[in-house]
Structures are given as structure tokens and as C-alpha cells.
Amino acid sequence: MESSARRDRDAEGRARNARPRDGLGRPLPYGAEGVARQPEGVARSPEETLREAQRLLDAGMPFHAHEVFEDAWKTGPAQEEALWRGLAQLAVGLTHAARGNATGAASLLERGTGSLARYAEQGGVPTYGLDLGELAAWARELTNRLPGPVDAAAEAPALRR
């Protein structure tokens, strides 16, 4: 059997992994009971994005929160791309930390803080009640404790104070 025939595909023929996933986004065997995936391409308001992402972070599901942020950067205004990308990178950094991948976690947390810093440097851009400096401090503090056991729910940042 050719490898492309074994790949999961959507109705348009794009590769999509239909395997169930756990709360940290790790693939499970076909037929296993996994965590519901976030639908892709959902256009939410910034308020809805932050509320849903915070719910997922608090539930220990940063991988799923990253998908919510990814939708915001792909469907939102171009000037806000660095904000939503940075938040997605922080969520993936927390995902890697919780999975025990300290190197990947540190890399994504650093990239996320860099994206947020570039966003803030634009000046006059909306932050939707986020304290970008506080999120960067959270990411640096988490990075400094790696490697080590990380409980995704317990370590989840408060997006707004």
C-alpha cells in the first residue's frame, strides 16, 4: 500500500490526522477514546478567543488552546498576527513542557515572548486586557524551571488579571 493512501484526508484531499488525541494533543491509537479536537478555522471575537483559550489552559489542555489562538491569527487582522501567534507559541511551549520535552518547551516559550515583544513594539495595537509583560515573565519563569515535572493545568498562565 502506498504511503499517501494510508494518510487521513479531508473532503478536499488535504492531509488530516484523524487519530484521537489526549489532552496534551498526543496521538492515540485509532479507536481509542480521545479528547474532542478544536474545530479549525473558527472566526471568534478576541473576547471569545481569550475566554475559550483560558478555559482550555485551565483544563490542562494547552495544545487545544494553541489551536484556538492559531485560528485567531489566521482569521484576524494582519496587524494582530504577532499577538495571536505569540500566544499560540506560549501554549505550545507549555504543551512541550508538560510532555517532558524541555528543549522544545524552552524554544517555543522564547519564540512566543519574542512574538509578543514584536507586537508590543508596534505601539497603538490592542492587547484586549492582556499584560504582555506578565505573560513574558511567566514564560521565563517556567523556562528557568525546566527540565522538571510540569502539570499543564497548574502551570497555566492567567491570560488576564
Does residue 145 fall inside a structural domain?
yes
Q: Which residues pair with 27 in a beta bridge?
A: 21
pLDDT interval class at 14 (50, 70, 90):
low
Residue 13 pLDDT exceeds 50: yes
Tens-digit pLDDT profile for residues 40-55: 888 999 999 999 999 9
Q: How many structural domains compose the chain?
A: 1
Residue 81 pLDDT exceeds 80: yes
Does residue 29 fall inside a structural domain?
no
Does residue 116 fall inside a structural domain?
yes
pTM, two decimals, is: 0.86
Does residue 78 fall inside a structural domain?
yes
Q: For residue 35, which phi and psi values (nearest 5 degrees)?
A: -90, 140
For position 74, which CATH number holds? Answer: 1.10.3450.10
| Residue 67 domain boundaries | 46-155
* Mean pLDDT value across residues 145-151: 92
Q: Report CA 147 to chain centroid distance, whole Å.
A: 20
The closest alpha carbon to 74, from 83, 65, 64, belongs to 83
The closest alpha carbon to 95, from 68, 71, 118, belongs to 68
Does residue 131 fall inside a structural domain?
yes
Whole-angstrom Cα distance, residue 156 to residue 91?
Answer: 9
Of 35-39, 60-64, 75-79, 118-122, give the lowest mean pLDDT range: 35-39
Does residue 86 fall inside a structural domain?
yes
Whole-angstrom Cα distance, residue 37 to residue 131?
Answer: 28
* Mean pLDDT value across residues 102-118: 97
